[in-house]
């Protein structure tokens, strides 16, 4: 049985005062449970605040991206070592917003994944198809291409200890959630692809679903055998909504 993870992605949202109340409200409602992991991925300027509010609590924190470079003349970049210095556990890589709005190619995502690992972070590799790709019947080739780029860079062993998040682009921030069956099908496909290289790594790889997860649909999604939790955007900005998803993960088998 794999652990379950619920990870918030705050995206470009937050303020010192707003984060403070959000995090305090989350902490007030969290009941720790073995095998259940809760985290928030915050904008880089708030890493110090996350560290000071969350250190020693059951809630971990992380970055939303990581540079593929370690240091040097790369204006605006944040390295894995910098994230680690602020106590981050996780780094999201390959979020569809980075891929579509900021030009992160499969090759760049693979480099970022490798960089995160080298720094000692747990990468959360996001993969997912657009609506046009789903309707065109190319969901699996797209997922395979995105996953294979990382497998080619770090091997199956490099995925061991990381997380994968299946995030259909058409479900992100749209209020349109993949059905539990659609999520399960994609997760099983991705796990099978990793199993083709290393069955043991595939069997223990936590695979999160992301895309308009809410308290009302989390339980059904988390009940799927290959859905090991969620990557949560909008609902992670409201403590009660985020906690409802957490409770669904705690209650899941
Ligand atoms: C995300 O951005 O990773 C995400 C899943 O967003 P939302 O939950 O708002 O769809």
Which of residues 242 and 176 earns the better pLDDT score? 242
**Active-site hit among 97, 111, 133, 167:** 167
Q: Of all protein residues, whose CA lies closest to atom 7 belonging to ligand 1?
A: 233
Give the number of the atom of ligand 1 that is nearest the alpha carbon of residue 230: 5
Q: What is the mean pLDDT of residues 233-244?
A: 98
- For residue 42, report the phi and psi dihedrals to the nearest 5 degrees: -110, 160
Other Cβ atoms closer than 10 A to 247: 19
pLDDT at 253 over 90: no
CA of 77 to the centre of ligand 1 (A): 23
The DSSP annotation for 5-43 comes to EEEEE--S---HHHHHHHHHHHHHH----TTEEEEEE--
DSSP character at residue 79: -
Asked if residue 80 has its Cβ within 6 Å of ligand 1, the reply is no
Residue 246 CA from chain centroid, whole number = 15
Q: Of all protein residues, whose CA lies closest to atom 6 belonging to ligand 1?
A: 233
Q: Which of 177, 214, 234, 235 to mutate to test the pocket of ligand 1 (most atoms within 8 A of CB)?
A: 234
**Active-site hit among 5, 37, 95, 187:** 95
Does residue 77 contact residue 61 with C-beta atoms inside 8 Å?
no
Q: Of all protein residues, whose CA lies closest to atom 2 belonging to ligand 1?
A: 233
For the chain, what percent of residues have pLDDT higher than 70?
Answer: 100
Residue 100 tokens read as 């579509």
CA of 209 to the centre of ligand 1 (A): 9
Determine the topology of domain 4-251 in CATH. Answer: TIM Barrel (3.20.20)
**pTM for this predicted structure:** 0.97
Q: Using H for helix, E for strand and C for coil, what is the string for 141-182?
A: HHHHHHHHHHHHHHHHHHHCCCEEEECCHHHCCCCCCCCHHH
- Residues 78 and 70: their CA atoms lie apart, in Å, by 9
- Mean pLDDT, the chain, rounded, equals 97
- Catalytic residue status for 167: yes
- Catalytic residue status for 95: yes
- Residues 124 and 234: their CA atoms lie apart, in Å, by 18
Q: Per residue in 51-62, pLDDT tens?
A: 999 999 999 999
CA of 125 to the centre of ligand 1 (A): 14
CA of 211 to the centre of ligand 1 (A): 5
Instruction: Name the packing angle between helices 47-54 and 16-29 (round to 10°).
Output: 30
Domain boundaries, the chain: 4-251
């Amino acid at each position: 049985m794999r652990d379950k993870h619920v990870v918030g992605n705050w995206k470009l949202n937050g303020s010192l005062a707003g984060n403070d109340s959000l995090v305090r409200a989350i902490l007030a409602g969290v009941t720790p449970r073995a095998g259940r992991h809760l985290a928030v991925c915050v904008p880089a300027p708030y890493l110090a605040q996350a560290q000071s509010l969350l250190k020693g609590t059951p809630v971990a924190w992380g970055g939303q991206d990581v540079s593929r470079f370690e240091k040097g003349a790369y204006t605006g970049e944040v390295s894995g070592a910098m994230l680690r210095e602020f106590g981050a556990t996780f780094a999201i890589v390959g979020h569809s917003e980075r891929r579509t709005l900021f030009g992160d190619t499969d090759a760049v995502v693979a480099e970022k994944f490798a960089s995160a690992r080298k720094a000692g972070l747990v990468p959360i590799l996001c993969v997912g198809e657009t609506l046009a790709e789903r309707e065109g019947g190319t969901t699996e080739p797209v997922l395979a291409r995105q996953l294979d780029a990382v497998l080619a860079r770090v091997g199956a062993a490099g995925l061991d200890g990381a997380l994968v998040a299946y995030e259909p682009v058409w479900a992100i921030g749209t209020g349109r959630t993949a059905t539990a069956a659609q999520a399960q099908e994609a997760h099983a496909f991705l796990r099978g692809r990793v199993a083709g290289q290393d069955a043991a790594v595939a069997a223990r790889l936590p695979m999160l679903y992301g895309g308009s997860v809410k308290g009302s649909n989390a339980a059904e999604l988390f009940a799927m055998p290959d859905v090991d939790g969620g990557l949560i955007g909008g609902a992670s900005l409201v403590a009660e909504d985020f906690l409802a998803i957490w409770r669904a993960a705690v209650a899941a088998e």
